[in-house]
Amino acid sequence: MGIRFDNSYARDLPGAYLRLNPAVAPAPELLILNDGLAAGLGLALDGHAAEWLSGAAVPPGADPIAMAYAGHQFGGFSPQLGDGRAHLLGEIRGPDGRRWDLHLKGSGRTPFSRGGDGKAAVGPMLREYLMGEAMHALGVPTTRALAVVATGERVLREEGMLPGAVLARVAASHIRVGTYQFFAARRDAAGLRALLDYTIARHDPGVDALGLFDAVMARQCRLIAQWMGLGFIHGVMNTDNMAMSGETIDYGPCAFMDAYAPDTVFSSIDRQGRYSYANQPLILGWNLARLAETLLPFFDADGERAVAVANDRLDRIAPQYQAEWLAVMRRKLALEGEDAGDQALIDDLLAAMEAVGADWTLTFRRLGTAALDAGLAAALTHWMPRWQARRRADWSEAMTRANPAIIPRNHLVEQALTAATSGDMTPFHALLAAVTDPFATLAGREKYGMPAPDDLPPHVTYCGT
């Protein structure tokens, strides 16, 4: 049966990509295949997973392209970015009729490579696999990894020569805010109109441009609120990393907080803290403003009215995000209904957590079992009665369902990736099993629920290019 492709992006948007094949992996070896995802998509790889999902061979029916997009990177605009080390093989339809992109990352240089080698190392590709599957298990919209394939060649990075790999990932689409910026920067009205029509047909049938913006805003507000509720820091919220589908995309310098500190940054290149934990809701609004700028001609033919429409929508972002955030935190704290004092209740808890450096994940899990450590318990002496008066009758069970016991702890991720780079996948498989069952009891899995030892240096992540 193979893979049934239907390549609408290449067919309908000829100005949005360059057609070219992935680099040929010289000795592909399958490191991990997401069997559950493959089965859910109805894929029959027929023993060809390693070659088809690495670039060693193009699957029948695929039409490989490098997608074009622009983007604001750390606030600076680049009118042309694009897939510098990635190829969209094409689109597949699942058994339910939904369309999914099948995309390779680390699959070789393209004309968008901007000086890079187009390749990727085993560690960063396995990181994306692990993080995507963890987020999926946590109920967060995300791209997902189908496979990681070692290429049989070495790539040069700062650490030296490392084993190369290609990630095969699946997404509802790879249309980004930066895709819209690509056409807007070129004043290509016809291309922008075609992209708008295509996006609406694929993600929000029946709406107009304003309806699409509203839908994207709703998805992104909900997504970022979910990130914040989990202590997740994306690390590179550039406009080319905001997907119109509302999925988390591109797990580069991402990580989960241990101790709660709003200014936490993990990315080695984010020296100003632009994409810190606390700034993520602000960047949400900033990125959506950039999207609105590209859609102005479709909001209203009159320029002044179009700006007024856009500003009205942008004014709604903060309250909409706040509503999503409150919904997330009410679930985490098992609050009964809604109350005007909930914001103050949440703020006071976070202030106490920050003051004592409480672990984000453990705090909410232990609140549900009344097992807080002494320092935080003392800080919450006056807070506890207020919370007890607001919580549901089944609060303990509800909090166990809402708060994970396990997240991808940074030190364990690094240990697993270091071992995998040396050829030992055992720690990776064990960690993957733990993070994809995040709400179950810790019994027998205690090490996966604990933060890093105090003597470890601060965690730093890199973009992996």
| Strand 76-78 with 99-105, pairing | unpaired
pLDDT, mean of residues 421-441: 97
pLDDT, mean of residues 222-242: 97
For residue 455, is pLDDT > 80?
no
Distance of CA 435 to the CA centre of its chain: 16
Q: Which residues contact 170 (CB under 8 A, 6 or more apart)?
A: 37, 41, 100, 101, 102, 103, 143, 144, 145, 146
Residues 286-297 have pLDDT tens digits of: 999 999 999 999
Q: What is the pLDDT of residue 115?
A: 79
| Average pLDDT value for the chain | 95
For residue 285, is pLDDT > 50?
yes
71-81 burial string, b = 16+ CB within 10 Å, else e?
A: bbbeeeebebb
Residues 303-361 have pLDDT tens digits of: 999 999 999 999 999 999 999 999 999 999 999 999 999 999 999 999 999 999 999 99
User: Where do the structural domains in the chain lie, given as residue ranges?
Assistant: 8-174, 178-325
Q: What is the pLDDT of residue 457?
A: 67
Residue 179 to residue 216: CA distance in whole angstroms: 14
Q: What is the pLDDT of residue 272?
A: 87
Residues 8-26 have pLDDT tens digits of: 999 999 999 999 999 999 9
Residues 46-94 have pLDDT tens digits of: 899 999 999 999 999 999 999 999 999 999 999 999 999 999 999 999 9
Q: What is the pLDDT of residue 464?
A: 53
Q: Confirm whether 300 is a catalytic residue.
A: no
pLDDT, mean of residues 439-446: 93
Q: What is the pLDDT of residue 17?
A: 98
Q: What is the pLDDT of residue 371?
A: 78
Task: Quickly state the pLDDT bin for 1 (edges 50, 70, 90).
Answer: low
pLDDT, mean of residues 181-210: 98
Distance of CA 391 to the CA centre of its chain: 31
Task: Quickly state the pLDDT bin for 2 (edges 50, 70, 90).
Answer: confident
Task: Quickly state the pLDDT bin for 114 (edges 50, 70, 90).
Answer: confident
User: Catalytic: which of 63, 240, 250, 359?
Assistant: 240
Q: What is the pLDDT of residue 465?
A: 42
Radius of gyration of the chain (CA): 22
